[in-house]
Structure 1
Amino acid sequence: MGSLNGPAPEPGSAPDVVRSWDARADLYLRLFRHEWDSKPFDQAVLAEFAGRVGAGGRVCDAGCGPCGQVTAMLAGHGLDVLGIDLSPRCVELARREKPGCRFEVRDQQDVGRAAAPGVLLDGLVSYYSLHDRPKSELPATLAAWSAAIRPGGQLLIVAKEGTGDGVVDDPLGTELRVYWAEFTEWELHSAAEDAAFRVDDITVREAYADEIRTRRIYLSATRLPDSGTA
């Protein structure tokens, strides 16, 4: 359905992500501002990622959302972190919540500028950032991340397990219709390998009592050397 400002954006497109997240960023912040306090497993996953990258490493938090917790936690582990999100409202709120961290409005397929000009990233974290776009975009997204990360750099993807790929009622309980994509271990593993990553580990955990009843997939990978290099 269109609006007075023109037709509705294509479901799962960049404008659609902006539409949905600008509308519910404040609600998400109220609901999940302190969620990491009760997630020791996820805290440990981020600590391990930071250890693999090493102190001072240049890292992008793709899809930082309005809370900015992942960006802040990685910065707390000594990394040089930039949080990015397509939603201007998410970035506005993240800057307010975590004033000591850096955040920018940017598409997660445009991470090449997350470090200094001409400098590749040492790592990238995607915490539930893949769910707002169609599965068909997964190869392009992984390719963009691969191009932005140096050989030997680290990748962490956390995604909800499943086979869904389309428009659904908002899982947050608003009246919005939003795009929702889920992934299998095989889909993430295959896409990462196709994008020149070596998959080092895949772990699956059950949902916590206060989470959407969907298992979580944690994929850790290392950027392989480019062809023709040592």
Structure 2
Amino acid sequence: MADMPLSPPEPGSADDVVRSWDARADHYLRLFRHELDGKPFDVDALNAFAGRVVEGGRVYDAGCGPCGHVTELLTARGLDVLGIDLSPRCVALARQERPGCRFAVMDQRDIAGERLDGLVSYYSLHDLPKKELAGTLTSWAAAVRPGGQLLIVAKEGTRDGVINDPLGGDLRVYWAEFTECELRTAAGGAAFRVDDCTVREAYDNEIPTRRIYLAATRVGLAPPPCRSRRP
């Protein structure tokens, strides 16, 4: 009897993240190897995060991707950083690109029980269905000690589903965007105090979507829920 073809993974699942990123990791690396060179706002946000973490603090770069550039920047600032990613290909490439940094294959949605001084999510949430946002932030809160720091960088919008890969090619990938209020609500519900939330326009060489930068501190109790703000 012939083997039955394998069913494709559920969109947005861990297996789907591995499928999509193993397939496009090399292409992504070619496009974004030196991404931070042209993004001064992002470099400032990452440096500010590093300045809020205790010296030598233990930090996860969640969804580090194949470039490992965020892991390298934070390591250079004196932090004990581990870049984590579900894609084995991303981790393998990151280790080649940044041999002085540490990387591991891990699921950012399942890190409760770690003892971290901080966590950075630099565009790592757009692979996850919005229904998993609250649970993911809760896992991060369970991994980050009280007083620890969080930085989320995400694309602003309302999309939540499978689309053609924005990076080009013929892949279909899961793509989620978030509003400022959605991120504030999820962070607050997971016992993070939002200290700052800034939105910037896309640079000329970026996907034309505004970016959200949310900085927060892990606290013992959750603050009140978000109320939408009008500009």
| TM-score, L = length of structure 2 | 0.93
User: 1:43, 1:192 → 2: CA distance?
Assistant: 22
What SS class does the counterpart of residue 127 from structure 2 fall into? Answer: coil
Unaligned runs of 5+ in 1: none
User: 1:5, 1:99 → 2: CA distance?
Assistant: 38
Give 1:111 shift.
Answer: 2.4
More off after superposition, 5-14 vs 121-130 = 5-14
Aligned to 1:42: 42
Match of residue 143, structure 2, among 145, 148, 153 = 148
1:111 aligns with 2:106: no
Aligned to 2:227: none
One-letter amino acid matched to 2:53: V
Give 1:4 shift.
Answer: 6.8
Q: How many residues align?
A: 220
Identity of aligned residues (%): 72
Match of residue 130, structure 1, among 116, 125, 137 = 125
What SS class does the counterpart of residue 8 from structure 2 fall into? Answer: coil
1:56 aligns with 2:56: yes
One-letter amino acid matched to 1:179: Y
Aligned to 2:187: 192
Give 1:39 shift.
Answer: 1.0
* 1:46-125 mapped onto 2 (5 Å cutoff): 46-112=46-112, 120-125=115-120
Match of residue 219, structure 1, among 208, 214, 217 = 214
Unaligned runs of 5+ in 2: 223-231
Flag as ranges the 4+ runs of structure 1 deviating above 3 A: none
CA displacement, residues 79-105 of structure 1 (integer Å, 9 cap, x when unaligned) = 000000000000000000000100000
Q: Is the 8 A contact 1:151 1:226 kept in 2?
A: no
Q: Is the 8 A contact 1:132 1:180 kept in 2?
A: yes
CA displacement, residues 111-161 of structure 1 (integer Å, 9 cap, x when unaligned) = 246x6xxxx100000001000010000011000000000001000000000
Aligned to 2:157: 162
Give 1:225 shift.
Answer: 2.0
Aligned to 1:202: 197
One-letter amino acid matched to 2:177: E
Give 1:174 shift.
Answer: 1.0
| TM-score, L = length of structure 1 | 0.93
